[in-house]
Each structure stands twice: as structure tokens, then as C-alpha cells.
């Protein structure tokens, strides 16, 4: 059995989880990620870093962010995002300390390889009254209608929430209110990401401790700083999918990468690394107005129609690669499969439904 993957990024050593700071900067795709370089279990978080010219061949680089400041002295540097501003890479992340709890901080890079933490960190120190300081994380920053916006995940009482902030300079942030809330996705919404797809907006987020369908794609509109929900899709049923983050490629494609994880994972005795990421996927609406995830064109030469662990019938697709079968039931028009050693990604009906199976790594939290 070969544990390393050929077409999916994973660190050479240590634990990785959420993809962070995805962007295209100075001729390279940049992938940052949650990383414990010391062991194959979750622990104090660093930001790992890799670059690619084609989204398929990644070069692992030295660690980008170390938890070396007082405001990140307990659990470290949690997830965040990137935006290119004034020909610089601005990275926003959640800094975690016992004294302050979870706060939002900033790093600036002029070249994409060296990183300087902002002297005024944390740039958002206190959670609004609509959230909780111990669960206030994963800032995703984007630009819209002449302003910068940030969404973060949180909770309050019996409601999981996404909060919205606005800025004109990326340094001073004004709280604008609750963007989305629900009692279905407790204990807390993680890794929110708000972005346009066609003439719609998608609010992607993750739901802790769900063994399947833990990634939600809420479809609607973003108008007057409000998100108007139309429907929620769980088109990637996993079970190994979590923490999606999107970014814009130079050609305008909206590309999304997820962490391949399962809450039932157990540590393996041969582990030198733990965790991997999905092949980059384009997110779009098809001619039937269905939201889809499908491998970027750079990966489509790897797609096949048959696999020993994928059983296709006219009204179902069953993937048997994991410990338990994963089943899609519905009309099957097409099936595309990407096999990479012990990982199988299955795209049904052009990506209207996705099954992601990679059951080697991880730990039950």
C-alpha cells in the first residue's frame, strides 16, 4: 500500500488541516495551511506554505507563520485568508492566546516568501456581542463595491453564526452585523467564505463533528450587506471533506480546495504525515442552474470512468474505498473518477454531486 499521494498536496512531515491564504501572487499559486510540524496530531498551529505554477505540482516551502507573539501564545495561528493589496500579499488569521482568546491578526508580505506581522496586532481584539470570544475565528477577506469585507465564524447561545465586518483600509474594521445564523449547525460555524458565482453569491462553511455532509454551500444574494438565503447545498457529501476555501485564478475561475478529513479518523502506527487536500476544483453553475464542483482543467487528464471501488448503476453510485460505503442515490448521467493511491474523488453528473474518500489519516478529536 502506498500512503503518499501523487496528485494531492500533503506535507512531507507532520499534521495539516484547513487550507489558508489561497491566492495567485507574482506568477505563483500560493497555498498556506494549518500545520503542526512536530507530530501527526493536531497541536499548536503554524502556517505551512507551498507554491505551484500549475495547481498540480506543489513545492513545499519553509513555514510561513510561527506562533511567536504573546497574542498567539496558546493554540497559535489559526485559519485565515489572503488578499492582494498595493502589490503586496495581506494575510489575515486568527491569533489565539489564553489572555485574549481568539482575535484577528494581520501579516504582510512584499514578495510572498517573507512575512512580517503587523505591529498593531490584533487588528480585531474583541468579538462583538453577537459572538463568543473563545469561538471567533477563520477570517475570510474580500473586496466588493469599493469596500473590504471580512466574514468570521462564531456562535452565541444556541445559534451558530457568521459575522460581517467592513473596512476601507484593511486595518480598521467596523462590525456590520450577523450575516447568517442557524441552530442546525452547532456548535460553531467554521471557515466561512463568501464569494460570487455567476449572478449568485455562495456562503461556504463547515460544520464541526459531522461524519458526512460537513461542508455547506449556501446559495443566495449579497445585497446591502445582507445575505439573502435561497437554498443550501451539500453537494460534496465527503466523508473526507472539510474547510473549503476559494480564490480567483488570473483567468477568472473561482477555484476551491478542501481539507480531506474525517471526524472518525484514527492515528496509524506508520504515520510520518497526516492530512491532505483535494485536487483544486472549479465551482460554477451548469446549464441546469445546479451548483457544481469539478476538477480544474489542469487535472482533468487524470479522470477515468471506472474504478475498482466505484460501483455505478443507472440510479446510484456506491464508493467502497473507505471503511463504510458511501452511496449517492439519484439519476446518474455521468461519472468521472480521480484515483490517487488510497484517495478517490468521484464527480457525478459533471460535479452536481461529489464523493471524497481518503481514510488513512487523522485523529478523532
pTM for this model (two decimals)? 0.95
Give me the mean pLDDT over the 174-199 stretch: 97
**CATH code (residue 114):** 2.115.10.20
pLDDT at 264 over 80: no
Is 246 within a domain? yes
Q: Could you confirm whether 111 is annotated as catalytic?
A: no
pLDDT at 136 over 90: yes
- Residue 27 CA to residue 358 CA, distance in Å, equals 31
Residue 263 confidence class, pLDDT cut points 50, 70, 90? low
Q: Which domain holds residue 108?
A: 14-357
Task: Tell me the three state secondary structure of residue 216.
Answer: strand
Strands 310-313 and 353-357: unpaired
Residue 296 confidence class, pLDDT cut points 50, 70, 90? very high
Count other Cβ atoms within 10 Å, centred on residue 298: 15
Is 364 within a domain? no
Q: pLDDT tens digits for 199-251?
A: 999 999 999 878 788 999 999 999 999 999 999 999 998 889 999 999 999 99
Is 112 within a domain? yes
pLDDT at 2 over 60: no
Is 6 within a domain? no
Is 363 within a domain? no
Question: Do residues 24 and 48 lie in contact, with contact meaning Cβ atoms separated by under 8 Å?
Answer: no
Is 335 within a domain? yes
**Number of structural domains, the chain?**
1
27 preceded by a cis bond (ω within 30 of 0): no
**Which of 6, 18, 87, 315 is the catalytic position?**
18
Beta bridge partners of 202: 195, 219
Is 3 within a domain? no
Amino acid at each position: 500500500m502506498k500512503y503518499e499521494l501523487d496528485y494531492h498536496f500533503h506535507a512531507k512531515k507532520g499534521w495539516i488541516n484547513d487550507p489558508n491564504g489561497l491566492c495567485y501572487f507574482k506568477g505563483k499559486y500560493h497555498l498556506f495551511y494549518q500545520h503542526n510540524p512536530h507530530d501527526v496530531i493536531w497541536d499548536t498551529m503554524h502556517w505551512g506554505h507551498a507554491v505551484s505554477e500549475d495547481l498540480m505540482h506543489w513545492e513545499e516551502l519553509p513555514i510561513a507563520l510561527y506562533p511567536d507573539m504573546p497574542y498567539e501564545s496558546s493554540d497559535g495561528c489559526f485559519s485565515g485568508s489572503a488578499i492582494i493589496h498595493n502589490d503586496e500579499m495581506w494575510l489575515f488569521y486568527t491569533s489565539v492566546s489564553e489572555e485574549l482568546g481568539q482575535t484577528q491578526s494581520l501579516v504582510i508580505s512584499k514578495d510572498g516568501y517573507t512575512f512580517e506581522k503587523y505591529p498593531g496586532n490584533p487588528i480585531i481584539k474583541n468579538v462583538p456581542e453577537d459572538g463568543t470570544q473563545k469561538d471567533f475565528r477563520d477570517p475570510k477577506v474580500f473586496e466588493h463595491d469599493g469596500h473590504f469585507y471580512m466574514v468570521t465564524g462564531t456562535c452565541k447561545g444556541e445559534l451558530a453564526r457568521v459575522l460581517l465586518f467592513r473596512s476601507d483600509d484593511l486595518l480598521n474594521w467596523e462590525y456590520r452585523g450577523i450575516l447568517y445564523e442557524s441552530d442546525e449547525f452547532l456548535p460553531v460555524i467554521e471557515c466561512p467564505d463568501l464569494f460570487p458565482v455567476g449572478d449568485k453569491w455562495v456562503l461556504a462553511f463547515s460544520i464541526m463533528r459531522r461524519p458526512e455532509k460537513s461542508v455547506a454551500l449556501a446559495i443566495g444574494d449579497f445585497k446591502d450587506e445582507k445575505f439573502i438565503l435561497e437554498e443550501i447545498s451539500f453537494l460534496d457529501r465527503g466523508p473526507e471533506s472539510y474547510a473549503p476555501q476559494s480564490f480567483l485564478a488570473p483567468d477568472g475561475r473561482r477555484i476551491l480546495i478542501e481539507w480531506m478529513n474525517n471526524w472518525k479518523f484514527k492515528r496509524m502506527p506508520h504515520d510520518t504525515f497526516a492530512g491532505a487536500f483535494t485536487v483544486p476544483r472549479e465551482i460554477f453553475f451548469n446549464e441546469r442552474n445546479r451548483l457544481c464542483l469539478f476538477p480544474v482543467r489542469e487535472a482533468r487528464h487524470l479522470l477515468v470512468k471506472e474504478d475498482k471501488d466505484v460501483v455505478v448503476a443507472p440510479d446510484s453510485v456506491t464508493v467502497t474505498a473507505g471503511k463504510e460505503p458511501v452511496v449517492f442515490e439519484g439519476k446518474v448521467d455521468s461519472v468521472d473518477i480521480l484515483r490517487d493511491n488510497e484517495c478517490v474523488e468521484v464527480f457525478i453528473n459533471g460535479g452536481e454531486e461529489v464523493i471524497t474518500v481518503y481514510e488513512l489519516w487523522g485523529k478523532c478529536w
